[in-house]
Amino acid sequence: MSTDCSTQTCTSVPRYPLNYNSPTFASVNNNATLFNLSYSDTTAASGFVARESIYFANVTAHDQAFGVVTNSNVTMDDQISGVLGLGFPRLSEIYYSTSNATPFLSTLAEHGILDYPVFGLSLTRNSSGTLAVGAIDASIVQNVSNIFWSEV
């Protein structure tokens, strides 16, 4: 979500400041490269594509393309102001609108930042969960030898 988004959904969460003066922020095509996402629950988000250094735990993806939301009806928690795409690059709207734009996890894998090009998501019935990036979380998976995967 950005400060340019003024819907009630946007104003209730932390927002990315469009007047952010950062040496790592770069507009793409003068903010004219647009995206429009529609989700199966009839919610939607739209805005423009920009590039920025993205920091996630102890890893960094420099010059990462991402969508700056300027309009949305997606309800977010008061601590969440965006969505992290986990799909393949070919499934990304931004991939097709911007050259050399891959999703965050793909960027990390392509640049050798991850020990292994894998991620794991563990969800529980209560409010906790974990996201493991670049490795298998041994506290969740007790017997790693039971995991099989194929290169894609």
Residue 3 lies in a domain: no
Report the percentage of the chain scoring pLDDT > 70: 95
Q: Left (φ > 0), alpha (ψ -120 to 50) or beta: where does 120 sit?
A: beta
Under a CB-based contact definition with an 8 Å cutoff, are residues 48 and 97 in contact? Answer: no
My answer on whether 37 and 108 are in the same domain is yes
2 lies in some domain: no
Domain tally, the chain: 2
Helix, strand, coil % (nearest 5) of the chain?
Answer: 15, 30, 55
What confidence score (pLDDT) does residue 116 get? 86
Q: Is 94 part of a structural domain of the chain?
A: yes
In a shared domain, residues 120 and 94? no
* More confident call, 44 vs 149: 44
What CATH number has the domain bearing residue 35? 2.40.70.10
123-148 pLDDT tens trace: 888 878 888 888 888 888 888 887 87
CB 98 within 8 A of CB 35: no
108 and 134 both lie in a single domain: no
Torsion of CA 75, 81, 33, 92, to 10 degrees: -80
Q: What is the average pLDDT score of the chain?
A: 82
Q: Supply 126's token pair.
A: 């209560």
Residues 94 and 126 in one domain: no
Shared-domain flag, residues 123 and 90: no
Which pLDDT tens digit goes with each residue over 94-130?
Answer: 888 787 788 888 899 889 998 888 888 888 888 788 8
* Structural domain includes residue 12: yes
Do 81 and 130 fall within a single domain? Answer: no
Domain residues for the domain of 130 are 115-152
Tell me the whole-structure pTM to 2 decimals. 0.76
Residue 42 has a pLDDT of 92
Domain shared by 53 and 93, yes or no: yes
Structure tokens belonging to residue 146: 């039971």
How far apart are the C-alpha atoms of 101 and 120, rounded to whole Å? 22
Question: How distant, in Å, are the alpha carbons of 63, 125, 128, 135 from that of 141?
Answer: 33, 17, 16, 11
